[in-house]
Amino acid sequence: MAKAAVSVAKRRPTRQIHVGGVAVGGDAPVSVQSMTTTKTADVEATIQQIYALAGAGADIVRCTCNEREAAEGLARIVPRSPVPIVADIHFHVEMALAALDAGVNGLRLNPGNLRKPEEIKLVAAEARDRGVPIRIGVNAGSLHPALYERFGGATPEALVESARMELAYFDEVDFHDVKISVKASNVALMIEAYRLASETFDYPLHLGVTEAGPPPGGLVKATAGIATLLAEGIGDTIRYSLTADPVEEARAGRQLLEALGLRERKGLDLIACPSCGRAEIDVIKVANDAQVALEARKIPLQIAVMGCVVNGPGEAREADLGIAAGRKRGHLFIKGKIVRVVPEGEMVEALVSEAEKIVSEGIEARLAAADASAEQAAEEDRRELFESKGSDANHSDERVIEIRKHLRALGGDAPPAGRGATAAGGSQGAGDETSSGEDGTGS
């Protein structure tokens, strides 16, 4: 007699929200998140890291928005990102509003940092009007001092109460597009806080152990907390907060979900740009056709489908293989290097053929077999696309103008990250920003 399949506990029901095109909560698959470590103002470096994160399994990526230059960077990043972008807001309401102007797909607010009720409600109302969800990101390391005193420390009850208070402000402006996290670096505290949150709220929960540290210890701590809760049916989206290359976070998250049977294990990893004003092809159709053809052949590679040759090969240079369009031609690239040019109508066939050759011959052999004239052809197409569509085909400059206008109306730029006072007038202290996290806690 066959044994019954063994699985984790049934997911606890939650509301469903959408971060861009990714559903979170309800019956949606548990999603993986990570956060860039680049300066958001460095658009090209950030885009490249986002593609690397997407390739490693991240469904949603968060970027810091701590200064005007970061907000302007987001205006240029969002239309080029292959996954939804969430802006991490630290201490300044101006940056939350600027991120919304930039077109982000979500916000993360820490109740311990942005404290003035009128500012919290202003951001919630703006997010409501734009259909942008907010994560209430409670953190044991930056809990409001009044809650520390009231509960005698960062207890599970204190963390959940912080989220409840924030929700009350959101309710006042009829905003309910919310997910919640109650993170701590102490694994046992984190587990108990999420158990209590799951009993208290029906909003989707974002799981994570903050400040988990570098591997292997950080992986052990994060897995101990996240996996325990997932096995109990608690959690709708996860992030490993490691002191490491964020690609390791995305990869670990994906592997954990696969190990628990919460996400399908697959060989092919296909990533694609979201299409934009410079796209020369129907990216969605080409990506779908490529997905079907490559999965049928069980190709175990990371493959990218990019809308144009201007940015595509550079943005997806970590992919084993990819193809980008330009002037009715497809530019095949391996690890970012253009190796062949094919007619537009043969893009999918060329991609499949090259993928099969890489599997049988290896990447180095296929790089050695590159057409010497391919890079020159790509450069000609890049130049032609710039001349015909300009340098701002996504109209990001218009968003940048709006960001600057609104910041001036609010009284100027917010102070640089890591300097000055919180919205409540207190010292940043433990909430001071670091490159690895959102408020000095890496959560």
Write the pLDDT tens digit of every residue in 391-431: 777 788 999 999 999 899 887 665 554 433 333 333 333 33
What pLDDT does residue 415 have? 52
Work out the average pLDDT over 288-295.
90
Band (pLDDT 50/70/90 cuts) for residue 329 is confident
Taking a C-beta distance cutoff of 8 angstroms, is the pair 133, 439 a contact? no
User: Any idea where the domains of the chain sit in the sequence?
Assistant: 16-265, 277-389
pLDDT in tens, 185-230: 999 999 999 999 999 999 999 999 999 999 999 999 999 999 999 9
Assess whether pLDDT exceeds 70 at residue 21: yes
Work out the average pLDDT over 121-133.
97
Assess whether pLDDT exceeds 70 at residue 92: yes
Task: Give the Å distances, CA to CA, from 173 to 93, 205, 421.
Answer: 16, 22, 26
**Which tokens in the block code for residue 56?**
């490693």
Band (pLDDT 50/70/90 cuts) for residue 280 is low
Q: Which range is most confident: 112-121, 168-177, 373-382? A: 168-177
Neighbours of 443 (CB within 10 A): 30
Taking a C-beta distance cutoff of 8 angstroms, is the pair 182, 138 a contact? yes
Higher pLDDT, 355 or 276: 355
Higher pLDDT, 369 or 440: 369
Going by CATH, does the domain composed of 16-265 fall within 3.90.1150.10? no
Please tell me if the domain spanning 16-265 has the same topology as the one spanning 277-389. Answer: no
d(CA 62, CA 60): 7
**pTM more than 0.75:** yes
What pLDDT does residue 401 have? 92
Work out the average pLDDT over 145-159.
95
Torsion angles phi and psi, residue 115, rounded to 5: -115, -20
Report the chain's mean pLDDT, rounded to a whole number. 88
Transcribe 372-390 into DSSP letters: TTHHHHHHHHHHHHHHHH-
Assess whether pLDDT exceeds 60 at residue 106: yes
Assess whether pLDDT exceeds 50 at residue 158: yes
- 225 contact partners, CB below 8 Å, separation of at least 6: 187, 190, 191, 207, 208, 209
Band (pLDDT 50/70/90 cuts) for residue 64 is very high
Strands (E), 140-226: 178-183, 206-207
Query: Among 3.30.420.10, 3.30.413.10, 3.40.50.620, 3.40.30.10, what is the CATH number of 277-389?
Result: 3.30.413.10
